[in-house]
């Protein structure tokens, strides 16, 4: 497990839009949370089959597979931003429209196992990247989506974004990990 611990980012290290995600992170043990979310996502998806993963909690909302696909896409983008800024690339980085990405990803046509595997691969890559960064890289500043951001804030955003969507999957989609179901049986 990653032992990465980072102080919370200052308010000026990310735009206000991302502070909700940053607030989702309970402490400073980013490495621990990244690893726990990796294991947790597999457990959350384990009780589902491909048909159940097509569920939507309301018309027009993403399916479970689409939420998972969104998490994969967003983590790739956030990690790419983190790497570019940590490597002192001063090029302003563009935003992205998740509402355009999800339909283009055609996630509902894929197996749930393939999406869970891809999430795990992306997360392991994120962990490897953050574990290898030098300490001074975390506070470097760059621009993404027209606003200042630091790698440290992006690490918190990655964890907080996944925490947010995991909560949505639990509360609105009524998902619970296989271990929860066994504990209550």
Q: State the residue range of the domain holding 19.
A: 11-184
Q: Evaluate whether residue 15 is within a structural domain.
A: yes
Q: Evaluate whether residue 51 is within a structural domain.
A: yes
Residue 48, CA distances (Å) to 100, 109, 116, 184, 185 in order: 26, 15, 11, 17, 17
Position 181 confidence tier, pLDDT thresholds 50, 70, 90: very low
Q: Indicate the number of domains in the chain.
A: 1
- The pTM for the full model equals 0.94
pLDDT digits (tens, 9 = 90+) for 126-167: 999 999 999 999 999 999 999 999 999 999 999 999 999 999
Q: Evaluate whether residue 6 is within a structural domain.
A: no
CATH code where residue 162 lies:
1.20.120.450
From the list 136, 7, 111, 131, the residue with the least C-alpha distance to 54 is 111
Residue 61, CA distances (Å) to 95, 107, 112 in order: 22, 14, 18
Residue carrying structure tokens 């909560």: 167
Q: Evaluate whether residue 5 is within a structural domain.
A: no
Angle between helices 151-171 and 16-23 (to 10 degrees): 60
pLDDT digits (tens, 9 = 90+) for 71-121: 999 999 999 999 999 999 999 999 999 999 999 999 999 999 999 999 999
Can you spell out the DSSP letters for 122-140? Answer: HHHHHHHHHHTS-GGGGG-
Q: Evaluate whether residue 4 is within a structural domain.
A: no
């Amino acid at each position: 497990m990653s032992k990465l611990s980072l102080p919370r980012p200052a308010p000026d290290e990310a735009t206000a839009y991302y502070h909700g995600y940053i607030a989702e992170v309970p402490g400073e043990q980013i490495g621990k949370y990244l690893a726990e979310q990796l294991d947790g996502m597999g457990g959350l998806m384990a009780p589902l089959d491909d048909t159940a993963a097509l569920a939507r909690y309301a018309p027009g909302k993403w399916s479970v597979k689409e939420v998972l696909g969104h998490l994969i896409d967003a983590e790739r983008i956030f990690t790419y931003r983190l790497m570019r800024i940590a490597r002192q690339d001063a090029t302003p980085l563009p935003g992205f429209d998740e509402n355009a990405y999800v339909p283009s990803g055609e996630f509902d046509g894929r197996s749930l196992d393939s999406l869970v595997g891809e999430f795990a691969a992306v997360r392991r890559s994120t962990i490897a990247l953050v574990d290898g960064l030098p300490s001074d890289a975390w506070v470097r500043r760059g621009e993404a989506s027209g606003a200042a951001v630091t790698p440290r804030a992006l690490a918190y955003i990655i964890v907080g974004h996944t925490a947010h969507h995991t909560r949505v999957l639990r509360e609105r989609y009524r998902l619970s990990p296989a271990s929860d179901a066994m504990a209550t049986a």
